[in-house]
Amino acid sequence: MATKRVLVTGAGGIAGVNFVRAVRASVRGYWIAGADYSRYYIELPDLDSRHRTPRHDSAGFVKRVAEIARAEKAEFVHPQPSSEALVLSRARDDLPSRVFLPTPEVMETGQDKLLTKERLDGEGVPVARTAQLKEIGDVEEAFSSMGRPLWVRARHGAGGRLSLPCETPREALHWIELWMGRGTLLSEFIVQEFLPGRNIAMDTIWRDGRLVTSYCRERIEYPFKHISPSGITGTPSVARIVADRKVNEVGERSVKAVDKTPDGAYSVDMKEDAKGRPCVTEVDAGKFHTTMPLWGYAAVRHLGLPWYSNLADLYIRLGSGEEPPGDVPRHDLLPDGCYMIRNMDSGVMLWREDGWKERVL
Ligand SMILES: Nc1ncnc2c1ncn2[C@@H]1O[C@H](COP(=O)(O)OP(=O)(O)O)[C@@H](O)[C@H]1O
Ligand SMILES: [Mg+2]
């Protein structure tokens, strides 16, 4: 089989490094060019060639990506960061390579927590009760109608941006005013019912409106949680695969609610409410969660699962026009109860409560 040439942007971030490693683990030969904004982190992934790109919001970003793709004869481009993926989804006609991304309209909805919430509500998918702030005084009203604590968060951004659980209106006001003093608009904040239950991620791959495969995992701990006010630091240090029909059903419906014909990778986040009902907090369209390719790598290298369990490989093949394999399970691709434990400079371990463990990195 001929070597396939791909370009990964944002290749130096943790998710990008994981994606490149997973693609390397494919039985098919890949030639991988990588690009990143950071002159430091671009040194980390195992690439065949390294490039620098300007920030996604600078005028020269698309031109530079297209230039690299052309020079490297990349047949396929995977933009790993959501911000870069949105820009390249808009500019797909300016690229010499294929992408496997949803439409810009769908991605914009996915990257705005308020628009997502409205779309999900409209389709009857469970979400947290949410208040939009028209004026700062609306914070008091939100506490009167939704109780306490409340979860203050930004509409845009990742990694729990500007999130804080607040016990009183005063705390919420201080938090919001602090950030408004640094240039964030009031309209960028929403206030939500606090969801106290399990924190769940669902990783999904779709083709022409059909779910190809998926699995769910519960996030159990975040690294550096004690030095973050919300305790959310983006990507978990401990997670466990869960197989739960209700979670699968809500997650699948949430993707269909933001995109009638999903195509590509969709990362869904859910948090359970006080009654144990999974509520969707985010449907990131076109996105690989940070550890999605790492789970795929572990699946083929350490769990003896078929090649398509390496979702980075499956995604590039589907995005290049190949047909989905016939035998792939739509749900619960990975084994229930398998943990992934990882931390900075400490490696990556698969573990089960019966004591079995295996080092991945
Ligand atoms: N209403 C909420 N109550 C409690 N925790 C929440 C709430 N909304 C989000 N979170 C937590 O914040 C994390 C990050 O939020 P998410 O919706 O995934 O957006 P992003 O990852 O883009 O910051 C979630 O995984 C969840 O743990
Ligand atoms: Mg998220």
The pLDDT of residue 2:
76
Which of 108, 218, 232 has most ligand 1 atoms within 8 Å of its beta carbon, as the pocket-test mutant? Answer: 232
Residues 80 and 185 in one domain: no
| Domain assignment present for 18 | yes
Residue 317 lies in a domain: yes
What is the total count of domains within the chain?
Answer: 3
Q: Are residues 247 and 342 in the same domain?
A: yes
Statement: residue 1 has pLDDT above 80: no
pTM summary value: 0.98
* Distances 347 to 90, 170, 222, 342 between C-alpha atoms, Å: 37, 42, 15, 6
Q: Tell me the pLDDT tens digit for each residue of 202-238.
A: 999 999 999 999 999 999 999 999 999 999 999 999 9
Q: Is residue 104 in a domain? A: no
| Domain region containing 59 | 4-99
Q: Domain of 172: which CATH number?
A: 3.30.1490.20
Is any ligand 1 atom within 6 A of the Cβ of residue 282?
Answer: yes
Same domain, 205 and 353: yes
Q: Is the CB of 235 under 6 A from ligand 1?
A: no
3-state SS class at 183: coil
Q: Which residue's structure tokens are 């408004």? A: 180
CA–centroid distance, 263 to ligand 2, in Å, is 19
Shared-domain flag, residues 174 and 238: no
Q: Give the residue whose CA is nearest to atom 14 of ligand 1.
A: 160
Same-domain check for residues 245 and 166: no
Query: Chain centroid to CA 164: how far?
Result: 20
Tokens coding 82: 């959501």
User: Hey, which of 121, 156, 271 would you mutate to test ligand 1's pocket, going by the most ligand atoms within 8 Å of its Cβ?
Assistant: 271
Residue among 193, 98, 207 at smallest CA distance from 152: 193
What is the overall mean pLDDT for the chain? 97
CA–CA separation, 103 and 108 (whole Å) = 9
Residue 34 Cα to ligand 1 middle (Å)? 30
The residues with which 206 forms a beta bridge, in sequence order, are 211, 264
Pair 203, 301 in one domain: yes
Ligand nearest to the CA of 281: 1
Q: Do 212 and 314 touch, CB atoms closer than 8 A?
A: yes
CATH number of the domain that 27 lies in? 3.40.50.20
Tell whether ligand 1 has an atom less than 6 A from the beta carbon of residue 159.
yes
Gap between the Cα atoms of 333 and 109, Å rounded: 27
* 217/332 Cα distance (integer angstroms): 10
Q: Assign residue 232 the CATH number of its domain.
A: 3.30.470.20
- Judge whether residue 27 has pLDDT over 70: yes
Mean pLDDT of 296-304: 98
Q: What pLDDT is stored for residue 150 in this prediction?
A: 98
Ligand 1 atom nearest the C-alpha of 196 is 4
User: Tens of pLDDT along 62-100?
Assistant: 999 999 999 999 999 999 999 999 999 999 999 999 999
Is residue 35 domain-resident? yes
Q: For atom 5 of ligand 1, which residue has the closest CA?
A: 195
